[in-house]
Structure 1
């Protein structure tokens, strides 16, 4: 690929003062051709030969973590999220933007000894795509709080479907992208009223716990500041209260319409639960959550079996073939076949991209025979992408060890915490053993029919 693939706007030497030390680096800012995506490259004077590439680098280039990585000798590059991204989201195109950035980098600074693709949220999503589809251009990958679009959509659907079938059959749970701001605010208020009313009764509390368990949503997770302390999963009362607060934080609203952009971009309704047995989905849930549900139903003298039948009998939701076709394309979905070392990290209180997705991907990777290339680490934190500086750099140094030696270092929580503490003792280090669900419910691999947009 020729350098004409990019338009270089700025190329100069800058000096930044960070933590009482000088970080000298060369900087390139430009716009890539075709889509005109804005990008940035920084190469420190003490470059160690490794390039870290991140979807969101442009907007966080001056953060403490980014400047610390420059200080350590890493070159860094990445993009600024496009203004039209919410309506034209395409991780496959984002991956091709990265390839153009690599070409620009090589033309200006030479070929890196290695490239590590990394990122959080949408950056994690495209990192998975790079590891599976464009592995020839990178050496390793770190995907944080990463989503697979169809998986996330359906996982988001299941808890809402339980609530709709048992508590509010009249309320909307799909097609949020078609709602105006005012309509979405009203829908949020209606759902809040339903849930608060349910929380006042024993059977309502049992049904809230059932929705979280079947949906495989975190009982302690959401956006903003955690409204309650992290519950003991064995304490049914505090666990259920946390489930309620998580549901309130995750019901349809302006803050939680993340799956809408998937449907807007795919030009159709993506979610589906046709043919599912919700009894099976319940059995696959977290064992402590299931125990809590059974106890709550017993205390309410209500029938769990009857409610599961009611859910199974409720009218199902079918996807649009055009949306399935769009999200079936390579680079837009993930099939559990990374071709380079891939470290996946996730916060356990992520209420936007649920940690169960990471469990499902790990299971699929092992099933496909790629387990030697893959590791997962979980961080005990509320929120989406709420990693500390030490935790993030520990993930990078873990990948560096894997690439240097050809073998994974110890990625158990104790070892990861020791590494994070060594990196920065003042920063949080919260890696934890994570039990999660017994089996992730929503692994989806596109069929030939899906890819062609055929009838189901």
Structure 2
């Protein structure tokens, strides 16, 4: 790991502090700063692992955090956005028993209105400073996390890599990419099924108004699903948006459809569609636009016929079969979509999400493993494929690997799958060479580490080409694009 940040401020489109205090201690910088109290503790579960604990709020944003260091610390610190919430979980205790120190935060209550991965990254830098001043400098730090924790992990490995040694990003999103994917599917639905229902400019909608809009969209989708034409168009929207057909909302894991069974695949697509309609629960895009204070999504200049061709092979085959069954021409519908008035993003929102640490540009500076569940209907799994394509273009492939788990749901990984991912990055850091990350090797690694755990790494089919990779230009960053 490289040297600590400078004591000076660093400008990255917003003011981001380089650290909370120096390695020499805080009193020489701020007489009011006191290091948190270290508590000796013993786990109450079966492991009985002994550890030292710090639990407090960070000095700048008052974000709650926790650090635990076991007696048999192996020198590695694992840092996670959501650690506080799962500190007493089986996996966290198992990692302590294995000698890992663990740290992280709890998500801030104002996150839905002022989401900022760059600020979350700075919280981590504060934690690292506190850790070093309290327990000593780790031999290595691995940043990891799921969902928003995966998103900020990508920011850390790209922009704050001098403070970490590796990263594991699980079910991670890049905000602008996901927002535009969300737009594409809804734009198809609006163009072909419900032109009177809005899909953008929803930032100022209260939850009650969003729910009412969501109900109208649900009625439109339900009615469309009752006709051959509507079923074909729902499948077209999922395929163009590159949304997963598997991953819709449910109380229990939804059955994975056979991709060669057109009827089962289309029904699963309709089920997934319900998760993406505008309402108070599909808050991801709304959260992004509230933070950026403007319309983030855009489809100016896109050819939706090209976007369709880039889709999943099985999905495209199903769409063509459904259109043939309905007796309508897909070419005519694609012309209708392409002729519809386009949506332009707000320069202020683009400027906000162009800032360093808030977006991702495919340039990991330390070893990074991305893992994703294939049935994730909240953060689409092809985002990982799109990032890998960009990493390859930028020439960073040696620092990147990806692996997919064949399971329904968002962040639904087993303990064995997590342990295999951590071990994979550890081996890469130890040797300088990636171990095999093919599904068979990942499953074997997981079984060795946690024999009774499920292991479901598999070859993810993906799409022909990811549609929505985006890297900000200088004009985007300055908010001066035409």
TM-score, normalised with respect to structure 2: 0.92
Match of 2:96 among 58, 67, 70: 70
Matches of 1:447 and 1:291, distance apart in 2 = 36
Residues 1:192 and 2:192 aligned together: no
Residues 1:111 and 2:137 aligned together: yes
Question: Residue 464 of structure 2 corresponds to which residue in structure 1?
Answer: 438
How many aligned residue pairs are there?
455
Matches of 1:90 and 1:228, distance apart in 2 = 32
Question: Residue 148 of structure 1 corresponds to which residue in structure 2?
Answer: 174
Match of 1:16 among 43, 48, 52: 43
In the TM superposition, what are the counterparts of 1:24-423 in structure 2 within 5 Å?
24-225=50-251, 228-423=254-449
- RMSD between aligned residues: 1.3
Q: Is the 8 A contact 2:248 2:274 kept in 1?
A: no
Give the deviation of 1:435 after TM superposition.
Answer: 1.1
Matches of 2:135 and 2:333, distance apart in 1 = 63
Matches of 1:404 and 1:321, distance apart in 2 = 44
Matches of 1:293 and 1:226, distance apart in 2 = 27
Matches of 2:222 and 2:242, distance apart in 1 = 21
Matches of 1:218 and 1:94, distance apart in 2 = 28
Matches of 1:454 and 1:38, distance apart in 2 = 37
Question: Residue 3 of structure 2 corresponds to which residue in structure 1?
Answer: none
Give the deviation of 1:455 after TM superposition.
Answer: 3.3
Give the deviation of 1:9 after TM superposition.
Answer: 4.3
Give the deviation of 1:305 after TM superposition.
Answer: 0.3
Once the two structures are superposed, what CA deviation does each residue of 1:123-175 show, in whole Å capped at 9, x if it has no partner?
10110011000111111100001111100100111100000000001112123
Q: Is the 8 A contact 1:47 1:75 kept in 2?
A: yes
Matches of 2:245 and 2:76, distance apart in 1 = 39
Matches of 2:279 and 2:429, distance apart in 1 = 42
Matches of 1:226 and 1:160, distance apart in 2 = 26
Q: Is the 8 A contact 1:8 1:30 kept in 2?
A: no
Matches of 2:36 and 2:109, distance apart in 1 = 19
Q: Is the 8 A contact 2:248 2:268 kept in 1?
A: no
CA gap 1:298/1:246 in 2 versus in 1, 3 angstroms: same
5+ residue gaps, structure 2: 1-20
TM-score, normalised with respect to structure 1: 0.97
Q: Is the 8 A contact 2:117 2:358 kept in 1?
A: yes
Give the deviation of 1:224 after TM superposition.
Answer: 4.0
Matched residue of 1:22: which SS? coil
Give the deviation of 1:383 after TM superposition.
Answer: 1.1
